[in-house]
Homo-oligomer: A and B are copies of this chain.
Amino acid sequence: MKVAMSFRDYQKEQREKVSRSLMDSALSLAAAQGYASLSLRSVAREAGIAPTSFYRHFRDMDELGLALAEQAEDVLRACWKGFFSKAAAYSKSPGASVDPAEAFARLLAESLLACVAENPGLMQLFFQERTGSSPAMRRAISRAMDGFTDVLSGEIFRFFATLGTQIADPRMHAEIVMAVAQSACLDLAVDPDAELPRAVEDLSRKLVHVLSAAGSR
């Protein structure tokens, strides 16, 4: 049974809708003309509110940017989580015919690029602005990336250890993987004609290379 909302709850809900609409508008404008050249007024216009109403939701554009970075982090975290559980499932009962490094690489490429294909604007923002013009945003994204790299290096170590291979420097492997993956993500996000399966295939092969090197030393 649906309980009638109080006005305050309704108001809160509406507020959230408008906030999200502002974030979506910023995202779609940023995809077209770049994050750095967004203006408060253009975002408000796109979201269908008066410029002055913007301030009811964010102190300024920088705060909105940080909210977007956070959203990107959440999306990526969910993507990682899916990948990790698939990798764990595989390492418990490895397919006989597939090279472990290959399975790991393919799962990673698929998870990550699927996430990019679903949230191109958000992912482009995340990877692009890691070295972009807003210091606050750079810091936030770098911190997030560091976290992901940590987690990934742990996962790499665990995965290959389970399969009997000790990896000497998983952190370095993780960093290489992140660099290659980031490049693939940006290419996919930026190019409107890029094909997902092709991108997955390409990234997959590269990660196999990086990770088999891991196994073979």
Contact = CB atoms under 8 A, between A and B. Distances in A.
Interface size class of A (residues with CB under 8 A): 35 or more
A28 interface: no
Contacts of A67: none
Contacts of A178: 183
Interface of A: 33-37, 124, 127-128, 131-134, 138, 172-173, 175-176, 178-180, 182-184, 186-187, 189-190, 205-206, 209-210, 212-213, 216-217
18 contacts: A33-B133, A34-B36, A34-B133, A37-B37, A128-B131, A131-B186, A172-B205, A172-B206, A175-B206, A176-B180, A176-B209, A176-B210, A179-B179, A179-B180, A179-B182, A182-B183, A210-B213, A212-B217
